[in-house]
Amino acid sequence: MVDVRLRISRHCRMTPSHLKWQTVLFIFCVYGMELVFGQARYSIPEETPDGSFVGNIANDLGIEISRLISGKARVVTKGGRQYVELSRDKGTLEVKERIDREELCKQTTPCSFSFDLIMENPIELHRVFVEVQDINDNAPKFPKGTASLQISENTEIGTQFHLDRAVDLDVGINGIKNYSLSPTDHFKLKINNEADGNKHVELILQRALDREERDEIKLVLTAYDGGSPKKSGSMQIHISVLDANDNAPVCKQSVYKAEVKENSQAGTVVTAVSASDVDQGLNGQVSYSFAQATEEARSVFKINSETGTITTVNSLDYEMEKMYQLNIKAMDKGGLKDTCKVIIDVIDENDNSPSIQLMSFSNVIAENSPIGTTVAVINVEDADSGINGIVQCKINENIPFKIESSLTDYYALITDETLDRENIAEYNITIYVSDQGSPARYSNKTLNVKISDVNDNPPVFSSEEYKAILSENNSPGVSVLKVEARDDDSGPNARLSFLLEDKNIHGNPVSSLVLVNSESGVISAAKVFDYEQMKSFSFNVTARDGGSPPLSSEVTVTIVVQDQNDNAPQVLYPVQTGGAVVAEIVPRSADVGYLVTKVVAVDVDSGQNAWLSYKLQKVTDRALFEVGAQNGEIRTVRQVTDKDAVKQKLTVVVEDNGQPSRSAVVNINVAVADTFPEVLSEFTDFTHTKQYNDDLTFYLVLALAAVSFLFITTLLVIISVKIYRWRQSRIFYQSNLPVIPYYPPGYTDTGVTGTLPHMYNYDACMTTDSRKTDYKYSTIGGQSVLMMDPSFTETMQRAMRERVLQQDPESPEAVRN
């Protein structure tokens, strides 16, 4: 053992750096004792060029170079490549082939190879160990040149991400020593040394990511080895920052203002809101909706959830809502949201017509209402605003009303002139209102105002005066005429009643003559009238209305009593005495046409009833006398002869023209004689009464006066008649009235000859004083004087009384009747 140990110590010359291996070598030597004569150990760096010196084996094993040559020493490698060869001449070992430690040993360390040195004669075997020392000939290397990582932006700080580590074929100090990262603003490295000596590389997030700021980060990971000089290898790391919904949408404006006209049709775009979201994809997709919008606003507006466009769904009414406030929610698909406000002003349009409301209205107004009386109070309104709501008010023109503004929007309709119901009883007052919009809107209202009656109009008769003709001998109660009146007022103010005004006519109250129907105005006769007693009369009728106080007016009614042929003619001359014989005397010398006498008759009737005609009825000698049909003159028609009888008797019929006619008969005695005694002798049978003789003188005087008076009167009448006709013809001429004076056929109206005209005839009676009970009448010709029949005087008296009655109603005679 000592030997071995010595040999070992002799052959195994150890460098200090190999001391640690001594123990191992020793054990190895013990096992190889039978074969191996010696050992040698060398150490060379890898990659040593060929021929480089490895060791002086001769020296190290104590072998002579000659022995090497004689022993034919050679290197024997078992398998594998021969890296080292022997230079026998020098006794040195040299590098035969480049040694790559990494190829030879991979990561094994220490790395060595061995070969044997064999010599012959005697055979000798020496084992040589060569340790290959690592040199830093490999750089660290990452398996992949790039690494990609996807990291969400909201990853928490401190999160670790595993990275592939780099590999360095070198070992030991030349292996990977550390890593570095660049840049390190978001990440840092964490190196974990594993038990196997490897290092784990972790990437640690040290600052929060923000995709919106930077969505891709490029890092370079570099690995360094510990060689000298050190080598490095690097790897690109691409980090994609994944989006997280970390951004809420943001409205572009927090408040939007918009205007929309009222009555805009549905679908009108009001405005559009917009919000942006910097997130990606769904996280950045914003949808819009109403937040806390009133139901009403929802019914009016809608929002397009994608575009944010707000449109109307209904027409708007400024008058209902002037402004809308909408809260809009902009929300991304990740549920983050923002809100903004939209204020929509509704713009007024002139879409409302002004309205008229009657606050008070009296549709009936008295015609005597003073000017300024209020008829109606009107309220006008227009729901629009601004000038669209400013209202003007007026009424139609040319009516006695005006409109006054009392308060804002209030107007009073008042009277502007005095009213007159009788002129205009009703007004249609139209109130026109218009606003100032463009175009303006109008409306109107018509008020019907009735003017109520006031009793301001008296009754008015249809005629200024009334005249009626009533035939005498009427039946009592017959209606004569009707007065009519109107009253322009109405109602009770126009209800008329007719009253007879109290009055005396010929001493009788008028109510005894006529009756007035107070309602109808019909006037009827209250008694039987006699033309000969009363030819006409007048009275007043009052018409009174029912107003309070009543108004009245009166009218004069004249009733003319019309004559009827109810009186026969009365013969005035010759006087028909009962017993006395009166004769006309015709001298025998009388010529043809001698006026014997004239029959004078009157008829108290008038007109045609008083037109008289005369006829001979009976005559002693028809050839001797004739009577003028119109004038009653009895004349001779032939020369009187001596043969003619003294005593001639004629009967003359006097007839009026009435229908039917009435007549009277008069007997005339004619004496044809030259002397009065002759006559007397002939007329001895003529009766004389004492009374007549007594009064004869008186009657003669009276007759004379009467004749004189008659003559003058006749003259006056003729003149009057002439004047009257002359004037009448002028009136006819002027008036062109077709009035033709009427004369009955066969009658002439001459003032000179013929019958006394009726007027004359009559007036003669009227103007004569009739206070005497008897009446004496003489012929116009004054040729004869005859006696008067007493019965005739009665007739005359009556006629006279009537005349007096007409002239003087107050006379005692009238009263007596």
Of 431 and 568, nearer to ligand NAG (C-beta) is 431
Amino acid 172 reads G
What does the DSSP assignment read for 538-586?
Answer: EEEEEEE-SSSS--EEEEEEEEEEEP-S-S--EEEES---SSB--EEEE
Which of positions 458-477 make contact with ligand NAG (CB under 6 A)?
A: none
Of 294 and 428, nearer to ligand NAG (C-beta) is 428
Q: How far is the CB of 430 from ligand NAG (least distance, A)?
A: 10
Specify burial of residue 60 (Cβ count, 10 A radius: 0-12, 13-18, 19+).
Answer: buried
Of 369 and 576, nearer to ligand NAG (C-beta) is 369
Q: Give kind and range of the element (H or E) at residue 721.
A: helix 690-735
Q: In the structure encoding, which two tokens stand for residue 134, read together? A: 């690592």
Nearest-angstrom CA–CA distance, 556 and 559: 10
Of 357 and 446, nearer to ligand NAG (C-beta) is 446
Q: How far is the CB of 532 from ligand NAG (least distance, A)?
A: 59
Starting at the edge strand that comes first in sequence, how are the strands of the sheet with 442-452 ordered?
364-366, 442-452, 426-435, 391-395
Q: How far is the CB of 492 from ligand NAG (least distance, A)?
A: 23
Of 424 and 700, nearer to ligand NAG (C-beta) is 424
Please tell me whether residue 296 adopts helix, strand or coil conformation.
helix
686-694 LR contacts (CB < 8 Å, sep 24+): 686/580, 686/581, 686/582, 686/583, 687/579, 687/580, 687/581, 688/580, 689/579, 689/580, 692/577, 692/580, 692/787
Q: How far is the CB of 362 from ligand NAG (least distance, A)?
A: 17
Q: In the structure encoding, which two tokens stand for residue 516, read together? A: 């007035």
Q: What are the φ/ψ torsions at residue 627 (nearest 5 degrees)?
A: -120, 135
**Mask of contacts with ligand NAG, 374-413, x by CB under 6 A?**
----------------------------------------
Q: Which of 614, 507, 505 is nearest to 561 (CA)?
A: 505
Q: How far is the CB of 427 from ligand NAG (least distance, A)?
A: 6
Nearest-angstrom CA–CA distance, 76 and 80: 11
Q: How far is the CB of 448 from ligand NAG (least distance, A)?
A: 5
Nearest-angstrom CA–CA distance, 567 and 141: 182
Q: How many beta carbons lie within 10 A of that of residue 307, not counting itself?
A: 12
Of 184 and 363, nearer to ligand NAG (C-beta) is 363
Contact with ligand NAG (CB under 6 A) among 406, 448, 512, 691 = 448
SS (H, E, C) 750-816: CCCCCCCCHHHHHHHHHCCCCCCCCCCCCCCCCCCCCCCCHHHHHHHHHHHHHHHHHHCCCCHHHHH
Q: How far is the CB of 375 from ligand NAG (least distance, A)?
A: 15
Number of residues near ligand NAG (by CB under 6 A): 3
What does the DSSP assignment read for 672-696?
Answer: E-SSHHHHHHHTTTSB--HHHHHHH
750 Cβ contact list (under 8 Å, min separation 6): none
Of 428 and 720, nearer to ligand NAG (C-beta) is 428
Of 113 and 427, nearer to ligand NAG (C-beta) is 427
Q: How far is the CB of 419 from ligand NAG (least distance, A)?
A: 13
Q: How far is the CB of 446 from ligand NAG (least distance, A)?
A: 7
Of 418 and 446, nearer to ligand NAG (C-beta) is 446
Please tell me whether residue 66 adopts helix, strand or coil conformation.
helix
Of 327 and 396, nearer to ligand NAG (C-beta) is 396
Q: What are the φ/ψ torsions at residue 482 (nearest 5 degrees)?
A: -130, 125
Of 206 and 448, nearer to ligand NAG (C-beta) is 448
Q: How far is the CB of 473 from ligand NAG (least distance, A)?
A: 55
CB distance 442 to 433 below 8 Å:
yes
Nearest-angstrom CA–CA distance, 139 and 231: 5
CB distance 489 to 549 below 8 Å:
no
Q: How far is the CB of 391 from ligand NAG (least distance, A)?
A: 24
Of 306 and 426, nearer to ligand NAG (C-beta) is 426
Contact with ligand NAG (CB under 6 A) among 428, 512, 639, 728 = 428
Q: CA 426: distance to chain centroid?
A: 23
Q: How far is the CB of 728 from ligand NAG (least distance, A)?
A: 53
Of 325 and 428, nearer to ligand NAG (C-beta) is 428
Q: Give kind and range of the element (H or E) at residue 24.
A: helix 22-31
Separation in Å, CA 561 to CA 83, 329, 374, 577, 768: 195, 114, 59, 34, 25
Q: How far is the CB of 291 from ligand NAG (least distance, A)?
A: 58
Q: How far is the CB of 428 from ligand NAG (least distance, A)?
A: 4
Measured distance between the N- and C-terminal CA atoms of the chain, rounded to whole angstroms = 225
Of 387 and 425, nearer to ligand NAG (C-beta) is 425
Q: How far is the CB of 425 from ligand NAG (least distance, A)?
A: 8
Check residue 426 for interaction with ligand NAG (CB under 6 A).
Answer: yes
Of 135 and 399, nearer to ligand NAG (C-beta) is 399
Check residue 430 for interaction with ligand NAG (CB under 6 A).
Answer: no
Nearest-angstrom CA–CA distance, 32 and 117: 14
Please tell me whether residue 626 adopts helix, strand or coil conformation.
strand
Please tell me whether residue 397 adopts helix, strand or coil conformation.
coil
Of 82 and 363, nearer to ligand NAG (C-beta) is 363
Q: How far is the CB of 429 from ligand NAG (least distance, A)?
A: 9
Q: How far is the CB of 354 from ligand NAG (least distance, A)?
A: 22
Q: Which residue is nearest to ligand NAG (CB)?
A: 428
Of 66 and 430, nearer to ligand NAG (C-beta) is 430
Beta bridge partners of 557: 466, 539
Check residue 363 for interaction with ligand NAG (CB under 6 A).
Answer: no
* Residues engaged in binding ligand NAG (CB under 6 A): 426, 428, 448
